[in-house]
Chain A
Amino acid sequence: MKDKIGKKLSGAEILLEQLLVQGVDTVFGYPGGAIMPVYDKLYGYLDRLHHVLVRHEQGAIHAAQGYARIKGEPGFVMVTSGPGATNVITGVADAMIDSTPVVVVAGQVTTGLLGTDAFQETDLIGMTTPITKWSYQIRRAEDVAWAVSRAFYIAASGRPGPVVLDFTKDAQTGLAEFQPCHCDFIRSYVPVPEVPQTAIEQAAAMINAAERPFVVYGQGILLSGAEKELGDFLDKGDIPAGSTLLGLSALPSDNPHLKGMLGMHGSIASNIMTCECDLLLAVGMRFDDRVTGKLEKYARQAKIIHIDIDASEIGKNIPVDLGIVGDAKQVLARLTPLIEKRRRSAWEHRNEECDAVERERVCLPEIAPADGPVNPGEVIAAVAKATRGNAVIVTDVGQNQMLAARYSRFSQSRSFLSSGGLGTMGFGLPAAIGAKIAAPERPVCLFVGDGGIQMTVQELGTIMQEKTGVKIVLLNNNWLGNVRMWQELFFGERYSCTRLLNPDFKMLAAAYGIRCENVESREELAPAIERMLADDAPCILNVHVREESLVFPMIPPGKELDQIMLNTQDWYSYGK
Chain B
Amino acid sequence: MASEKLYEITAYTENQVGLLSAVAGIFTRRSLNIEKLLVYPSRIEGIHKFKILTRTDERRVKAVVAQMEKKVDVVKAFWEVDSERSHKEKEAVEDFLQHRENQSKTAL
Contacts and interface: CB of A to CB of B under 8 A. Distances in A.
Contact of A129 (B18, B59, B67): B18
A404 to B, nearest CB: 32
Interface stretch (A37-45, A130-138, A194-202, A492-500): A130-138
B69 A312 contact: yes
Nearest to B22: A129
A188 B59 CA distance: 24
Contacts of B59: 315
A187 B16 CA distance: 14
Nearest to A159: B70
B25 A130 contact: yes
Given A315-B62, A316-B63, A188 B75 contact: yes
A186 interface: yes
Interface range for B:
10 to 19
Contact of A311 (B13, B18, B66): B66
B25 A129 contact: yes
B72 A125 contact: no
Given A126-B21, A129-B22, A134 B66 contact: no
A189 interface: yes
A134 B72 contact: yes
Contact of B21 (A129, A188, A314): A129
Contacts of B95: none
B14 to A, nearest CB: 5
A312 B67 contact: yes
Contacts of A125: 18
Contacts of A275: none
B74 interface: yes
A187 B25 contact: no
B73 A188 contact: yes
Contacts of A186: 72
B29 interface: yes
Contacts of B74: 188
A562 interface: no
B72 A154 contact: yes
Contacts of A314: 66
Nearest to B29: A130
Contacts of A311: 66, 69-70
Contact of A133 (B29, B63, B67, B72): B72
Nearest to A316: B63
Interface in A168-190: 186-189
Contact of B72 (A137, A188, A310, A312): A188
Interface residues of A, number: 19
A187 B63 contact: no
B22 A312 contact: no
Majority secondary structure of chain B interface residues (helix, strand, loop or mixed): helix
B15 to A, nearest CB: 11
Interface string A136-163: 0100000000000000001000000000
Contacts of B25: 129-130
Given A154-B72, A315-B62, A316-B63, A188 B18 contact: no
A125 B17 CA distance: 10
B63 A312 contact: yes
Interface string A108-137: 000000000000000001100110011101
Interface string A429-466: 00000000000000000000000000000000000000
B21 A310 contact: no
Contacts of B73: 188-189
Contacts of A137: 17
A153 to B, nearest CB: 10
Nearest to B16: A136
Contacts of B21: 126, 129
Contacts of B70: 310-312
A130 B17 CA distance: 15
Interface string B58-84: 010011001101101111000000000
A130 B19 CA distance: 11
A154 B72 CA distance: 8
Nearest to A153: B72
Contacts of A310: 70
A312 B66 contact: yes
Interface in A310-361: 310-312, 314-316
A134 B70 CA distance: 11
A314 B65 CA distance: 12
Given A133-B72, A311-B66, 11 more contacts: A126-B21, A129-B18, A129-B21, A129-B25, A137-B17, A186-B72, A188-B14, A311-B70, A312-B66, A312-B70, A316-B66
**Ordered nearest first, which 8 A-B pairs have the shortest CB separation?**
A312-B66, A188-B75, A130-B25, A189-B72, A134-B72, A129-B22, A312-B70, A312-B67
20 contacts: A126-B21, A129-B21, A129-B22, A130-B22, A130-B25, A133-B72, A135-B18, A154-B72, A186-B72, A188-B72, A188-B73, A188-B75, A189-B72, A310-B70, A311-B66, A312-B67, A312-B70, A315-B62, A315-B63, A316-B66
